Amino acid sequence: MLQIGKIILNKIKETNQTPAAIARKMQISRTGLYTMLATNDFKLSRLQQLSQELNHNFFQYYITTNQPDQTAIKELQTQKNILQLQNEYLQKENAHLREMLNFLKEKIS
């Protein structure tokens, strides 16, 4: 699971700011900021504020975590398409075999 809180804390340290200073700029308590970071419970507006204050796009971490899901979706879609093509082929083959069976039945009788 993505620990965005740890990433944000590291970015705060990199910028030589304190969490308390960031919390003041965001107009929330220091405890509130620590709670958000610990629980990874962010509203989009708060994450946007953090991105602006620290000059870093934290949304990129959410986008990249969805990439495997997109890959899996594409893979499953491809498998679905292959199965649909196989189904169409088998239906045509079945219809052809039925025609041949009916033809042979007519010839015998």
What are the boundaries of each domain within the chain?
4-65, 67-109
Mean pLDDT of 62-66: 61
pLDDT at 15 over 60: yes
| Residue 75: pLDDT band with limits 50, 70, 90 | confident
| Mean pLDDT, the chain, integer | 87
With pLDDT > 90 as the criterion, what percentage of the chain qualifies?
48
Class (C level, CATH) for 4-65: mainly alpha
CA distances from 81 to 42, 75, 76, 77 (A): 39, 10, 9, 6
| Residue 42: pLDDT band with limits 50, 70, 90 | confident
pTM of the predicted structure, to 2 decimals? 0.54
